[in-house]
Amino acid sequence: MRGRGLLVVLAMLGVGVAACTLWVDGQWNGYSGTCQLPNAGDNVCGACVTQKCQSFVDTTCGQGVTDQLDLCLSNPSDPSDMPGEWSCDTFFADASVYDPTQTQDESNLRHCVHDNCPTACSTCTDFDGGPGACGECLTTSCAPILNGIGGCCDDTDIVAGMVSCGSSVNHSCSDFLTYDTTLPDSGDDFNHCMRVFSQCVQTHCATPCQ
């Protein structure tokens, strides 16, 4: 009876261990081999990577490349005013994606994200249109202008204008509604971004954002 009781205890311990996961350098790595990045469920970028590239995440779990990927997933917004500091840059810049010194597993992961998730991982997740009909219109009609690699997500004029435009207190979208969109596009990122975003607000959201 004592031996049988010991076997039961050992069997229960075995089930408990099998159900556990290991914490590897800030990432959950299950005994099944599935690697769960902490920020993978935060936005469309994480959803894309999980759906398209999970097998490559699993093979690199706990390595530097998955640390970089988790940083990307935490905020895939493209800071176009800070070249080289975009959190997803190492998965879309040619120098990183085609780096000959990286391992095959690292290369596979970078290429998978690069080939399958450029849209999802350059979405302006920082954008907050604010409450009400104005915010709804801005989010639906104008926020997509900010997306894309090299997009307008962190344009300083737009960010400044959205502080008051998206606010539920002292709401004012005058920065966009009074911007002269007939001025020639200078080719400068900030001028171009503010012009096209303001044009969108004036064309599609003027009434709800008054």
Which tens digit of pLDDT belongs to each residue from 118-150?
999 988 888 999 999 999 999 999 999 999 887
Domain shared by 145 and 89, yes or no? no
Domain shared by 100 and 158, yes or no? no
The pLDDT tens digits of the residues spanning 22-72 come to 444 455 665 556 899 999 988 899 999 999 999 999 999 999 999 999 999
**End residue of a domain, out of 74, 96, 122:** 122
Confidence of residue 2 (pLDDT cuts 50, 70, 90): very low
Domain shared by 115 and 141, yes or no? no
> Rounded to an integer, what distance in angstroms lies between the CA atom of residue 195 and that of residue 198?
5
Domain that holds residue 45: 22-122
pLDDT at 21 over 60: no
- Kindly report which listed range (41-45, 85-89, 157-161) carries the lowest average pLDDT score: 85-89
* Amino acid letter for position 205: C
DSSP state of 140: I
The pLDDT tens digits of the residues spanning 96-109 come to 999 999 999 999 99
In a domain, 209, yes or no: no
What are residue 62's phi and psi, to 5 degrees?
85, 0
Domain shared by 42 and 104, yes or no? yes
Number of domains the chain is built from = 2
Contact 78, 86 (CB under 8 A): yes
Give every CB contact of residue 100 below 8 A, 6+ residues apart in sequence. none
